Amino acid sequence: MVPQLRFTGRISLFSLSDVKKILVVSLAALLSACAPSQMGVGVSAPQVMASPMTPVTVRPGQALYVRYSYPRTLLKVDDAPFRALEIDFGSRDNSSNVHSASSPVSWLSVTPQDLPPGVDVALAQAFVAKEIVGTTHPSSGATSVNYYERVWVTLKVTAAPTARAGAPKVGTLVYSHDGTQSEVPLLVRVDGGGTGSPSVQ
């Protein structure tokens, strides 16, 4: 049997109001660090967000697909669906790093709250994943990996053509599954830089 090293991500617990304050205070730094991206035009090529606190910037008339990677504990998902995931040590990138293992799920839903006027968020797809963050290639013996148990969520963020540009707003995404709910903040900004791409259906 190929040995595997398992490391599960941990998060500090803050109240939703505390997280919103952190987001607002750090907004200037976050927005300045966000470079324009060509990704996000479709569900198969979402804009991958650096962290659950990375803000979304959308233009009037635009539909943007973004992917967040959440620790499973943040969405209160037990470890059962992750135990079923098998890492394929033969599937590697050009640097010989083992690819993450993932599987789509249909039991997760999301309800947005307190978004800017004219902005809507819908769940496009979700996966459970063993997100590999390190591959070790010893001089002798078997390859080992370090990974986190994550929920990958792709969201479709749509701004109506009439949406007004304005200051960023911290909304809330209520994720639900199996009678359990989790509130996660989402920072959204409507950019006044002109009309965006036509909505992708």
Question: Cβ–Cβ contacts within 10 Å for residue 83, how many?
Answer: 10
Residue with tokens 């639900």: 176
Asked if pLDDT for residue 166 goes beyond 70, the answer is yes
Domain count, the chain: 1
- Residue 138: predicted pLDDT: 82
Residue 6 within a domain: no
Q: What is the mean pLDDT of residues 160-185?
A: 95
- Residue 32: predicted pLDDT: 45
Residue 8 within a domain: no
Q: pLDDT tens for residues 51-107?
A: 999 999 999 999 999 999 999 999 999 999 999 999 999 999 988 899 999 999 999
- Residue 198: predicted pLDDT: 37
Residue 47 within a domain: yes
Across the strands, what pairs with 59?
none
Query: Do 171 and 185 meet the contact criterion of CB atoms below 8 Å apart?
Result: yes
Give me Rg for the CA atoms of the chain: 18
Residue 2 within a domain: no
Left (φ > 0), alpha (ψ -120 to 50) or beta: where does 61 sit?
Answer: left
Residue 50 within a domain: yes
Would you call 159 exposed, middle or buried from its count of C-beta atoms within 10 A (0-12, 13-18, 19+)?
buried
Can you give the three-state secondary structure of the chain, one letter per residue?
CCCCCCCCCCCCCCCHHHHHHHHHHCHHHHHHHCCCCCCCCECCECEECCCCCCCEEECCCCEEEEEEEEECCCCCCCCHHHHCCCCCCCCECCCCCECCEEEECCCCEEEEECCCCCEEEEEEEEEEEEEEEEEECCCCCCCEEEEEEEEEEEEEEEECCCCCCCCCEEEEEEEEECCEEEEEEEEEEECCCCCCCCCCC
Q: pLDDT tens for residues 1-32?
A: 444 444 444 444 455 565 555 555 555 444 44
Residue 180 within a domain: yes
- Residue 192: predicted pLDDT: 80
Residue 119 within a domain: yes
Q: Which residue has the higher pLDDT, 141 or 177?
A: 177
- Residue 2: predicted pLDDT: 43
CATH of the domain at 115: 2.60.40.10
- Give the whole-number percent of the chain exceeding pLDDT 90: 65
Domain boundaries, position 56? 16-90+98-190
Q: What is the mean pLDDT of residues 154-175?
A: 95
